[in-house]
Amino acid sequence: MFMLVRKDIQANHWSIYVGTVFFLLLTYLITLPPTIVYLLTSFAIIFSAFSYDDKVDANRYFLSMPIIKRNIVKSRYLYSISIMIGTLLIQFIMMLITQFVFEVDLYVYSWYDILTLIGIGFLMIAVFTPILYYFSSITNAMFSIFFLVGLLTIVMMGELDKVLSFTDTIIFNDIDPGFSLIVEKYFPAPSYMIFIIFSGILLYGSLLLSIYFFKRKDQ
């Protein structure tokens, strides 16, 4: 299974990962919301693995090998989780270094921001991955994901407006603290741990669903 994870990592050239680090740094310095940048960047890297498999028809090749089908799906989930946590860790370290070197007043993740973003990352994987396994066409899967993202964005902006108490309009660059406040609003104490457990349970259910869809594709 770890061979499959390594395959996913190597699907992108090393320059993509280096470029991603510079992109995270640049967007941070120009004060784009790091939470949004983190979620979009992580999903883009994860999606690239699905796109690569679709391009080279990798799943057909792996299915011809003595590999248990569920391990193919498990490895993709492990890869996705690694990307989400790895990107978050790099972004957090970059924040600390930037604050130390440049002495600028930019947003830095707190421990509850980190737990919140890990939970949101799990939810993203839990929702989007079964869609990518359900559709035979990656284009159809992406249209479905874009539609869901649009709906979720509308709902999320409404919730952020409530917890951050914006007076007239939502200030896009100031939304970062709002995500953890939403967790506190809807989950009982200890909110962040319960949120992580909740998203982890959904992630496991998503894994089982993706395995079912993947096996069904091959029938």
pLDDT digits (tens, 9 = 90+) for 47-103: 988 887 777 665 665 655 556 778 889 999 999 999 999 999 999 999 999 888 877
Structure tokens that stand for 46 in this block: 């994860």
Please state at what angle helix 191-217 crosses helix 69-102, rounded to 10 degrees.
Answer: 140
Which residue range is the domain that position 168 belongs to?
2-217
Q: How far apart are CA 138 and CA 57, in angstroms?
A: 12
Place of tokens 């930037």: 98
Residues 6+ away with beta carbon under 8 Å from 181: 163, 164
Distance in angstroms (rounded) separating the CA atoms of residues 99 and 84: 23
In total, how many domains does the chain have?
A: 1
pLDDT in tens, 188-212: 889 999 999 999 999 999 999 999 9
pTM of the model: 0.88
